[in-house]
Structure 1
Amino acid sequence: MKKQMTVRKTVLAALFLAIGLILPFITMQIPAIGKMLCPMHIPVLLCGYILGGPYGLIVGFITPLLRSVTFGMPVMLPNAICMAFELATYGLVSGILSGKMKKDMRSLYISLIISMLAGRLVWGLVSAIVYALIGSGFTWKLFFMGGFVNAIPGIVIQLILIPVLVNRLYAAGVVKPAYEGK
């Protein structure tokens, strides 16, 4: 039974990774639209909620790096490196919080907002370090604009889509919450 669960989770993690690689094509490889809609964030957050923090962390870290190597977007340095830490945080925090939350919409929204804030904070900190190492200018205004203002459409999409999808998947019994699958 445990081996079946591990195989199932590994297959689902691969599915979330594949979705994370393909979903950004809706932005037609235009960086400004991709930064606005944040399409890679959705499968990583779903992975955390459905499979738990460790899987969410791994899928979140690998997705932007593999996408950069495979498709050239996002650019590896500085974007994909910074995004790897951001998305890993999304996957980890959403997975941890899914194990502690009730199975209701209010808890889903609270955990999603905390996950999104934690990921953006990590993105800002890693960006400050990476930009300093490559000798490029990073400002907290850039952090605020990139992480929040420019990303408003993606944030709204995530706030609408993620809780509804997770709640429907739980309710339908298609997947069990990460904390029930152990």
Structure 2
Amino acid sequence: MKKIDIQKIVLSAMFIALGMVLPFATMQLKSLGQLLSPMHLPVLLCGLICGPVYGAIVGFVVPLLRSVTFGMPKLFPGAIAMAFELLTYGLVTGYLYTRSKYKCIIAVYKALIPAMIIGRIVGGAVQAVLLGGQYSLAAFMTGYFVNTLPGVVLQLVLIPVIMVALGKAHLIKFHSGAKRKAEIF
């Protein structure tokens, strides 16, 4: 039997709570929430910090729980498609980051960028299955790539900053690229 990591369970619960609360910051303007994708931040961080299994669970739970609790996003098709998208984010980010030899900003980007691309493809595919013929390639590209560009930029800037801050506070194993270069030579 595998050892249960209480710290990762507690952190995952915290990331679920953040995923429930962060969208309130953009709630006044629905389009702002879609642009900044506030639920994505805790899921991506959970994958990086807790690993792929916890990241996937948090990613799947947050949109569904938020939909059932607060009615946003709407359960069908939004929250269901988003659950699979965020599950993929947490899984891919966690998997790629845990496989990285060095825990640094480069490793964070090597985990984030593929996760964001694969997650969006999965979310769009699930939405296409749920909506059938009512979903087009143009709707997919607009909804998952064009409209979410500000959120992608926010995630690509904010998540590495958070990881560096957590590393400097000695809360996670993380170091800057300068230390990594010294280790290589």
TM over 0.5: yes
Taking the aligned partners of 1:144 and 1:166, their CA distance within structure 2 comes to 30
Partner in structure 2 of residue 107 of structure 1: 107
Deviation at 1:28, TM superposition (A): 1.4
Q: Unaligned stretches of 5+ in structure 1?
A: 178-182
Which segments of structure 1 move beyond 4 Å, counting only runs of 4 or more?
none
Taking the aligned partners of 1:83 and 1:62, their CA distance within structure 2 comes to 10
Aligned identity (percent) is 51
RCO comparison, higher one (Cα < 8 Å, 6+): 1
Partner in structure 1 of residue 172 of structure 2: 175
Taking the aligned partners of 1:36 and 1:121, their CA distance within structure 2 comes to 17
Taking the aligned partners of 1:64 and 1:75, their CA distance within structure 2 comes to 9
Q: Secondary structure at the match of 1:173?
A: coil
Taking the aligned partners of 1:176 and 1:47, their CA distance within structure 2 comes to 14
Partner in structure 1 of residue 77 of structure 2: 78
Q: Unaligned stretches of 5+ in structure 2?
A: 175-185
Root-mean-square deviation (CA), in Å?
1.6
Deviation at 1:167, TM superposition (A): 2.8
Q: Which amino acid aligns with 2:49?
A: I
Q: Which amino acid aligns with 1:94?
A: T
Q: Which amino acid aligns with 1:163?
A: P
Output one character per residue of 1:40-72: Cα deviation in whole Å (capped at 9) or x when no partner.
000000000000000000000000000000000
1:141 corresponds, among 138, 142, 154, to: 138
Taking the aligned partners of 1:29 and 1:125, their CA distance within structure 2 comes to 29
Taking the aligned partners of 1:67 and 1:29, their CA distance within structure 2 comes to 16
The reply to whether residue 150 of structure 1 matches residue 176 of structure 2 is no
The reply to whether residue 119 of structure 1 matches residue 119 of structure 2 is yes
The reply to whether residue 128 of structure 1 matches residue 128 of structure 2 is yes
Deviation at 1:9, TM superposition (A): 1.1
Contact 1:29 1:73 in 2 (8 A): no
Q: Which amino acid aligns with 1:95?
A: G
Give the number of equivalent residue pairs.
172
Please identify the structure whose Cα radius of gyration is greater: 2
Q: Which amino acid aligns with 1:52?
A: G
Deviation at 1:29, TM superposition (A): 5.3
Partner in structure 1 of residue 183 of structure 2: none
Partner in structure 2 of residue 93 of structure 1: 92
Partner in structure 1 of residue 179 of structure 2: none
Output one character per residue of 1:64-90: Cα deviation in whole Å (capped at 9) or x when no partner.
000000000000000000000000000
* Closer, same or farther: CA 86–31 of 1 in aligned 2, 3 Å: same
Deviation at 1:124, TM superposition (A): 1.1
Taking the aligned partners of 2:91 and 2:10, their CA distance within structure 1 comes to 18
Contact 1:16 1:47 in 2 (8 A): yes
Taking the aligned partners of 1:113 and 1:168, their CA distance within structure 2 comes to 20
Return the TM-score normalized by structure 1: 0.89
Return the TM-score normalized by structure 2: 0.88
* Closer, same or farther: CA 111–98 of 1 in aligned 2, 3 Å: same
Taking the aligned partners of 1:50 and 1:103, their CA distance within structure 2 comes to 11
